Amino acid sequence: MMHTTEQLFAEEKIIREYFSSWLESDFSRLDNWFSQDVYYRECYGATYEGLNELKAYINSKSKEQTVLKWDILSMAYTSSDQFVVTWFFDAKEKQEYCFDGVSLIAFYDNKIKSIVEYSTKHETYQPYKDKV
């Protein structure tokens, strides 16, 4: 389905607001951002099916975790009707941790229908730099 410029702008805004909600600990707009039958797959394997499961997770996680940064590095809309969002995540629970990630985000009726996340270590190195 072809998206209009206005739809793309509105969907990008929803993505940015959702990421910001973790920094502000304000999840009051979840009903505006997510469809009732949302599917959310975390980069570490946990999945949430439906908005009620997602809300239960967010309610629990936000009590034990402080998000220090969740910076969107790039956002692109693809021909397969989804956004590819690259990001840097930094948070603290018992200890501080950070990693880089990618989210594949699909919309339906102006709400997030699915998110699938992938992560990688933030620190990089070049093991063969001095060997070539």
Q: With beta carbons less than 8 A apart as the criterion, state whether 3 and 9 touch.
A: no
Task: Report the pLDDT value the prediction gives residue 4, as an integer from 0 to 100.
Answer: 85
Q: Which among 60, 54, 27, 59 is positioned nearest to 113, based on CA atoms?
A: 54
Domain count, the chain: 1
For 74, 81, 108, the CA distances from 4, given in Å and listed in that order, are 20, 12, 14
Mean pLDDT, the chain cut into blocks of 10 residues (132 residues total): 84 98 97 98 96 97 97 93 96 97 96 97 91 86
CATH at residue 59 = 3.10.450.50
Q: Which among 44, 34, 49 is positioned nearest to 118, based on CA atoms?
A: 44
Q: What is the domain range of residue 115? A: 5-131
What is the pTM (predicted TM-score) of this model? Answer: 0.92
CA distance 44 to 118: 8
Other residues' Cβ atoms within 10 Å of the Cβ of residue 119: 15
Q: How does DSSP classify residue 89?
A: E
Cross-strand partners of 96: 92
Task: Report the pLDDT value the prediction gives residue 2, as an integer from 0 to 100.
Answer: 65
Q: Where are the beta strands (DSSP E) in the chain?
A: 34-41, 47-49, 66-77, 82-92, 96-108, 111-121
